[in-house]
């Protein structure tokens, strides 16, 4: 250890510098690791929600496109609207995670897709003249 006043080397247990007589003040430096600053027990949980929400939205879109001519429109829209709402809720919950990009993209895509599905549902129930 070195004296803060004169810079001479002193013993670790010294209370005064033998060279200049300055009182030795011991400073303990505690460093916090990067992991301790970044870690939150909720990051992993919310990350799962945003990924699941995005996957569910993609599945809803694929189901609508693939089964459009096979399943009747009203039943198909019921299935895909349900999936879209679940995926949208998961993406909104996923926005609480540290990295929000996927959750925001899922929320935007899910909202647009849900609006399209509701519009198609209104067309499916519209009276035909």
Domain count, the chain: 2
**Tens-digit pLDDT string for the chain (129 aa):** 778 788 888 888 888 888 888 887 776 656 655 554 444 555 566 788 888 999 999 999 999 899 988 988 889 999 999 999 999 999 998 888 778 888 899 999 999 999 999 998 888 888 877
Q: Do residue 22 and residue 81 come from a single domain?
A: no
The per-residue pLDDT for 38 is 47
Q: Do residue 24 and residue 63 come from a single domain?
A: no
Residue ranges making up the domain that contains 13 = 1-30
The per-residue pLDDT for 34 is 52
Residue 103 CA neighbour count, 13 Å, CB half: 19
**Residue 35 domain-assigned (yes or no):** no
**Residue 59 domain-assigned (yes or no):** yes
Q: Are 39 and 32 in contact (CB under 8 A)?
A: no
The per-residue pLDDT for 30 is 62
Q: Which residues of 1-31 are buried (b: 16+ CB within 10 A; e: fewer)?
A: eebeeeeeebeeeeeebeeeeeebeeeeeee
Distances from the Cα of 96 to the Cα of 58, 89, 112, angstroms: 21, 12, 21
Sequence-distant (≥ 6) Cβ neighbours of residue 6 within 8 angstroms: 17, 19, 20, 22
Q: Do residue 59 and residue 105 come from a single domain?
A: yes
Q: Do residue 49 and residue 108 come from a single domain?
A: yes
Q: Do residue 65 and residue 100 come from a single domain?
A: yes
The per-residue pLDDT for 95 is 86
Q: Do residue 11 and residue 58 come from a single domain?
A: no
**Residue 63 domain-assigned (yes or no):** yes
Q: Do residue 22 and residue 48 come from a single domain?
A: no
The per-residue pLDDT for 37 is 46
**Residue 4 domain-assigned (yes or no):** yes
The per-residue pLDDT for 124 is 86
């Amino acid at each position: 250890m070195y004296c803060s006043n004169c810079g001479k080397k002193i013993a670790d247990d010294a209370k005064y510098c033998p060279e200049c007589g300055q009182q030795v003040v011991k400073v303990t430096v505690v460093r916090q690791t990067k992991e301790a600053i970044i870690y939150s027990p909720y990051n992993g949980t919310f990350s799962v929600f945003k990924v699941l929400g995005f996957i569910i939205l993609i599945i809803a879109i694929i189901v609508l496109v693939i089964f459009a001519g096979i399943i009747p429109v009203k039943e198909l829209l019921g299935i895909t609207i349900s999936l879209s709402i679940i995926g949208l809720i998961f993406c909104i919950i996923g926005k609480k995670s540290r990295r929000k990009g996927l959750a925001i993209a899922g929320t935007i895509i899910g909202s647009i897709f849900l609006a399209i599905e509701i519009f198609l549902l209104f067309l499916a129930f519209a009276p035909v003249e």
